[in-house]
Every structure is written in C-alpha cells, then in structure tokens.
Amino acid sequence: MSQLMEAKDTFLSLFDEASSDRSGEPGWLRQLRQNAMDRFGEMGLPKATDEAWRETSIKPIVEGTFGRSSSSESALASDYYYKGFDAHQLVFVNGRFNAERSNIGDLPAGVKLTNFADAVTKYGEMVQDYLGRLCDWKERSFAALNTALAGDGYFLHVPKNTVVDRPINVLWISEPGDQAAASFARNILIVEESADVKLVETHIGPQGTTYLTCPVTENFVSANANVDHYVVQDDSTKAFHIGEQCLEQGRDSRFRSHTFTFGASITRNGVFGYLRGENIDSILNGLYVLRGKQHCATFMQMEHIAPHCDSHELYKGVLDEESSGVFRGRIFVHQTAQKTDAKQTNQNLLLTDKAQVMSKPQLEIYADDVKCTHGATTGQLDREALFYLRSRGLRKNEARALLIHAFASDLTERVQIDAIRDKVEELLWERLPRS
C-alpha cells in the first residue's frame, strides 16, 4: 500500500514540475488541471481490489519511477513507420509535438489540424467547450492523471460536409533515453455533421526501453458523419500503455474503430462510447497478439441511449508463451434505446498452457425490444486442421502459423487503408511461429 502512496507522490511531483509549462495557459485550463489532480490525489492509483483492475496488476508501474523527458529528438522519426503511406503526418516525440518531423500538408478548407498546445492558443474556446466532456476523469485514476498532466496531442476539427480524402496519421514515438519517462497525450477529434475522415493513431518506441504512455482521445462524431479510426500500438515490450478512447455519436453517424495491440508489457485499452442519436452504426474491433509476459486488457463500455442503434464489437486475442489477456466489455442499453442491435464477441486463442485469458462480456439491458447478443470463446488450434495441413506437407510451425494467421486475419482484413493493413500483417507474421 505504501508503494501505491509513493507512486502517487511521484505523479503529484510530476504535476508540480510541469507547473512552469502551464504558466502560459488560460485560467480555465489551469483550473481543470488542478481539479483533476486533486481528484487523482483523492483516488490514488487503482488498487488490486478495484473490480476494474482485478486482473491487471499495475505493480511494475507502481514500482517504476517516471520522470519527464526533455528530449524531443528521435532516431525512429526518420520515416513515418508505414511504407508508402500518403497521409497528413503529425509526429510527437516523448509527448511533445515535433513540427520539423511532421508534415501536415494541405487540408481541405476549414479543417483544423494542429497539436493540442497550439489549439489551446488558437481555438481556446472550442477546446474549452470539448475538453473533458467525454472523459470521465472524476471516476478513473488514469483519466484524471491525463487530464491534469495532459501534454501534447492532436486537435482535429472537420467542419460540416467536409471530406478529408487523405488519411491522417498521428505518430507517437517514445524514446525516453536513460530515464523512464511518462507522457500523457490528450487528443480531441471533432467531426461535424456529414463530414468524413480517416485517422490513425500509432504508438511506437525502441525495444527494450521503459516508459509509460497514457493517451486519451475524445471523439465527437456528429450526425451523419463518418469516421474510420485506427490505433496501432507497437510500443516497447518493456513499456506501459494505459490508453482511453471516448466516443460520442450523433444520429445516423458511423464510427469504425480498429485497435491493434502488439507491444507494451502492460496494455490497457479503455473504450467508453455513448450513442446519443438514432440509427447509429458503431463498430469497434480489436486484435491483440501477445507473447512473453505481455498483458493486454480491454475495458469497454458502450451505452445505448437512443433507439435504433447498432453496435458491433469483435475482439480477438492470440496469446503465446506466458502472456495474459483480459476482455471486459459491457453493453448498457438504456430504457430509451429500443430496437438496439448490439453484438459483442471475444475470441481467444491460447497457444501454451502458461498463457491465460479472462473474458467478461457483459450485458445490462433496460429496454425490452432489443437484440443483444454476446459470445466468448477460448480454445486452442484445431488439431484436425493442423493434421490436415501437415498431411499436405507443411511443417508443424508453418501449419500453426497459417492457422493462427487465419484466425487473426479476420481483423486485419477489415483495415481499409492498404499501408496500415500491410504493416499490421507484417507485425502479425513477425509474431507467428517460424519454420
């Protein structure tokens, strides 16, 4: 317990250290940060007994001391991670915007794309209006921490009826150097009525380095808008990634999200969705491919507030060696949300006896005219399928790789952007048994 207190103090001192950064900020933002930090002070870090954190041990995070990294240079920043990816590029190094490396390029008229710090200066009122509206920092420790320490992130505003043709790639590179560092990216995505945008959030870091990254994105999707959203996480396997996606959708809007988790020693992907208008289509998919002692927890809550909304979630996990996975999803159907069509599926493939998975797909339903289903399966590779492939002359590892790939490709194939799909496939093949 005392360790928890010490860790808390570390973060409190981080807040004090960063006070000079905040001096130029408007009063409301400083107040918000202070409130969030006070709240964090009250809550502290999640305890092992907290229902939401029971399966995820944050001990390594508690034991680590994370400072602030001053370096904004990176060797990894030379390319944009994806091959041949024609996109508006934003690069953040150790949580700071790197204007030199970034290449925002030409955007359609009226689209605002910049870094968070810049947005606070330029579009202060808009930021004030949206910041913290979806992310419930009063309830969740890491959300409070992020709100208090919110470093740089992206700010994207797509005005009404605007289509952004080229995808937007936001690349976070954590290269903390000698000392373990923490970064708290805070992102705001506002897509106005009937607008259309594709966005990729990418997190990488050099292997073997330890750092903590806590990104929070608040997605505001207005009526009839269309958003394709990707998260590709290939952090160092010694790093900690505690992220959160908050989502609010208006009527007739479409939000498709794909989250790919390959890296980090402890990953936690929080997803909090509020479907406020009628006839929404919300798709949230995820794939986690883990090995070693990696741990990935998905924590999702979808709230159906308006009638006639569809939400579909498919999460798949491939767990090798001593890795562990947690899926805790909850579909909450309010009494007002009649004709809801919700489906939640979690499928896991355990490759060894030491890998483990905990799956909790939950339904909480207060409306009677709904179609809600959830399913969870956990199993191993089909022995007959393996035998068949081997009888066709494939080596054991080839056959295994082929079958695992088939299981996972269900999700990689859904990626609409070629460059992203190729990269994700590459990351997947790297992790499959080799012949």
Partner 1 sequence: MPSTSETTINEFAQREYQHGFVTDIEQESLPPGLSEDTVRFISAKKNEPEWMLEWRLKAYRHWLTMTEPVWPKVDYPPVDFQAASYYSAPKSDADRPKSLDEVDPKLLETYEKLGIPLREQEMLAGVAVDAVFDSVSVATTFKDKLHDLGIVFCSMSEAIKNHPELVKKYIGSVVPHTDNFYAALNCAVFSDGSFVYIPKGVRCPMELSTYFRINAQNTGQFERTLIVAEEGSHVSYLEGCTAPQRDENQLHAAVVELVAMDNAQIKYSTVQNWYPGDEEGRGGIYNFVTKRGICKGANSKISWTQVETGSAITWKYPSCILQGDNSIGEFYSVALTANRQQADTGTKMIHIGKNTRSTIISKGISAGKGQNTYRGLVKIMKNAEGARNYTQCDSMLIGDKCGAHTFPYIDIRNSTAAAEHEATTSKIGEDQIFYCNQRGLSEEDAVSLIVNGFCKEVLAELPMEFAVEAQKLLGISLEGSVG
Looking at beta carbons only, is 302 or 424 nearer to partner 1?
A: 302
Looking at beta carbons only, is 126 or 365 nearer to partner 1?
A: 365
List 3, 34, 103, 380, residue binding partner 1 (CB under 8 A): 380
CA pair distance 298, 60, nearest whole angstrom: 19
Looking at beta carbons only, is 180 or 350 nearer to partner 1?
A: 350
Query: Six-digit token pair at 402?
Result: 């082929």
Query: Six-digit token pair at 132?
Result: 């913290």
Per CB under 8 A, the segment of 39-47, 287-295, 371-379, 389-397 that binds partner 1 is 371-379
Whether the CB-CB separation of 141 and 42 falls below 8 Å is answered with: no
Distances (CA, A) of 52 to 99, 293, 323, 374: 38, 21, 19, 20
**Single-letter residue type at 307:** P
Whether the CB-CB separation of 345 and 378 falls below 8 Å is answered with: no
Q: What is the nearest approach in angstroms of partner 1 to the Cβ of residue 66? A: 31
Per CB under 8 A, the segment of 11-19, 65-73, 292-300, 363-371 that binds partner 1 is 363-371
Judged by CB under 8 A, does residue 386 bind partner 1?
Answer: no
List 86, 378, 410, 425, residue binding partner 1 (CB under 8 A): 378
How do strand 226-234 and strand 96-97 relate by DSSP bridges?
unpaired
Cα 233 to the center of its chain, rounded Å: 8
Looking at beta carbons only, is 152 or 313 nearer to partner 1?
A: 313
CA pair distance 111, 156, nearest whole angstrom: 7
Per CB under 8 A, the segment of 211-219, 287-295, 354-362, 395-403 that binds partner 1 is 354-362
> Between helices 418-430 and 396-412, what is the axis angle to 10°?
150
Judged by CB under 8 A, does residue 161 bind partner 1?
Answer: no
Looking at beta carbons only, is 52 or 104 nearer to partner 1?
A: 52
List 377, 397, 416, 435, residue binding partner 1 (CB under 8 A): 377
Judged by CB under 8 A, does residue 52 bind partner 1?
Answer: no
DSSP secondary structure of 414-428: T---HHHHHHHHHHH
List 101, 374, 421, 423, residue binding partner 1 (CB under 8 A): 374
List 104, 372, 386, 402, residue binding partner 1 (CB under 8 A): 372
Judged by CB under 8 A, does residue 370 bind partner 1?
Answer: yes
Site string for partner 1, 129-158 (x = CB under 8 A): ------------------------------
Judged by CB under 8 A, does residue 362 bind partner 1?
Answer: yes
HSE-up of residue 255 (Cα within 13 Å, Cβ side): 32
Q: What is the nearest approach in angstroms of partner 1 to the Cβ of residue 424? A: 24
Q: What is the nearest approach in angstroms of partner 1 to the Cβ of residue 365? A: 5
CA pair distance 115, 23, nearest whole angstrom: 18
CA pair distance 301, 4, nearest whole angstrom: 27
Q: What is the nearest approach in angstroms of partner 1 to the Cβ of residue 91? A: 40
Looking at beta carbons only, is 207 or 336 nearer to partner 1?
A: 336
HSE-up of residue 164 (Cα within 13 Å, Cβ side): 32
The Cα angle at residue 315 between residues 313 and 318, in degrees rounded to 5: 170
Query: Six-digit token pair at 268?
Result: 């936690």
Per CB under 8 A, the segment of 16-24, 202-210, 305-313, 351-359 that binds partner 1 is 351-359
Whether the CB-CB separation of 423 and 173 falls below 8 Å is answered with: no
Judged by CB under 8 A, does residue 396 bind partner 1?
Answer: no
Residues found near partner 1 in the complex (CB under 8 A): 51, 335, 338, 348, 350-353, 355-380
